[in-house]
Amino acid sequence: MFSGLSAFPLTPMNEHGLDEASFVRLVERLVAANVDSIGVLGSTGNYAYLTMAERARVVRLAVEHAGKIPVIVGVGAMRTRDVLALADDAQSAGAAGLLLPPMSYQILSADEVFGLYQTVARAISLPLCVYDNPRTTQFLFSDELHGRVARLPNVASIKIPGTSKDPVEAKSRVEHLRALIPSHVTIGVSGDVFAATGLNVGCDVWYSVIAGVFPATALAIARAAQAGNAQEATRLSDRLQPLWDFFGECGGSLRVVAAIAELQGLVEQPCLPLPLKALSGEWRQRLANLIDELGLS
């Protein structure tokens, strides 16, 4: 499950609640593309903006419509008590795995983060992916902490921030981390611009935002890398550099992906919880032009 391409769809919503029909449409699109797993309620899934009941509903919809594709569920929350409740909901709904970031308002210490993963890992029966996302959580994992956490029961993968695009530097980073973790724990790359390089130098899985709306485009990159065709994977990724640059100009991928989903007719407008807003005006038109120019699908 924690290998290949893991596609992370939006959780479309408005101020009246979840847009269940659009969410199901996104999930079924990923199933039709035959991605390796579906990651719901990650950062792109807007988990932090949902109630516990809404999150439980999203998981049930995802599992119901994912068919044979395994569903990985984000269970991040401010309190360990709530993480455990969310993990129980996900397990009861038939999720295949869990994804846990060290979410907080007060910046956590390394001991507090280890304690979080220790408590959760001992309480669950599903494999767990450690979500290392310092931009969102404001917590920076050390490699030593990754090594400690990876040895806990049920920990099966680490979702690291993007490695360097330089293959030598990226390979060194992945090899250093792999030397500190058990052999059964996979390493996953996030940050779509870094995905091809990460997969080419030994990452096992790409946890992908763009795959949530353009699964065929992302699968082409992932399958090339999995086949050992590093040159083709790099070429396919480099072709998307204007999109990767656009993500950077917009301060991240969420608002861009939300606008893509709206432009493609995959979701209703608006699809983000206020105060968040998808791109509009000139930015939206630039994005529409990029989609056409790059032939994304």
pLDDT band at 158 (very low <50, low <70, confident <90, very high): very high
Average pLDDT, the chain: 96
Which runs of consecutive H residues, i.e. helices, occur in the chain?
Answer: 20-33, 52-65, 80-93, 110-123, 134-137, 143-150, 167-178, 195-200, 215-226, 230-238, 241-249, 254-263, 281-294
pLDDT score of 155: 98
Residue 208 has pLDDT above 80, yes or no: yes
pLDDT band at 252 (very low <50, low <70, confident <90, very high): confident
pLDDT digits (tens, 9 = 90+) for 57-80: 999 999 999 999 999 999 999 999
pLDDT digits (tens, 9 = 90+) for 101-157: 999 999 999 999 999 999 999 999 999 999 999 888 999 999 999 999 999 999 999
pLDDT score of 195: 96
What average pLDDT does this structure show over 9-22? 96
Q: Which candidate, 245, 178, 246, 190, places its Cα nearest to that of 218? A: 190
What average pLDDT does this structure show over 164-170? 91
pLDDT digits (tens, 9 = 90+) for 272-290: 999 999 999 999 999 999 9
Rounded Cα distance, 205 and 159, in Å: 9
pLDDT score of 161: 87
Residue 187 has pLDDT above 80, yes or no: yes
What average pLDDT does this structure show over 40-58? 96
Radius of gyration of the chain (CA): 18
Rounded Cα distance, 69 and 50, in Å: 24
Higher pLDDT, 165 or 271: 271
Rounded Cα distance, 219 and 210, in Å: 10
What average pLDDT does this structure show over 168-192? 95
Q: What ranges do the domains of the chain cover? A: 4-294
Residue 1 has pLDDT above 90, yes or no: no
Lowest mean pLDDT among 81-90, 141-150, 158-167, 229-238: 158-167
pLDDT digits (tens, 9 = 90+) for 225-250: 999 999 999 999 999 999 999 999 99
CATH of 4-294, one of 3.30.300.180, 1.10.287.4070, 3.30.460.20, 3.20.20.70: 3.20.20.70
Rounded Cα distance, 118 and 154, in Å: 10
Residue 163 has pLDDT above 80, yes or no: no
Rounded Cα distance, 280 and 297, in Å: 21
pLDDT band at 44 (very low <50, low <70, confident <90, very high): very high
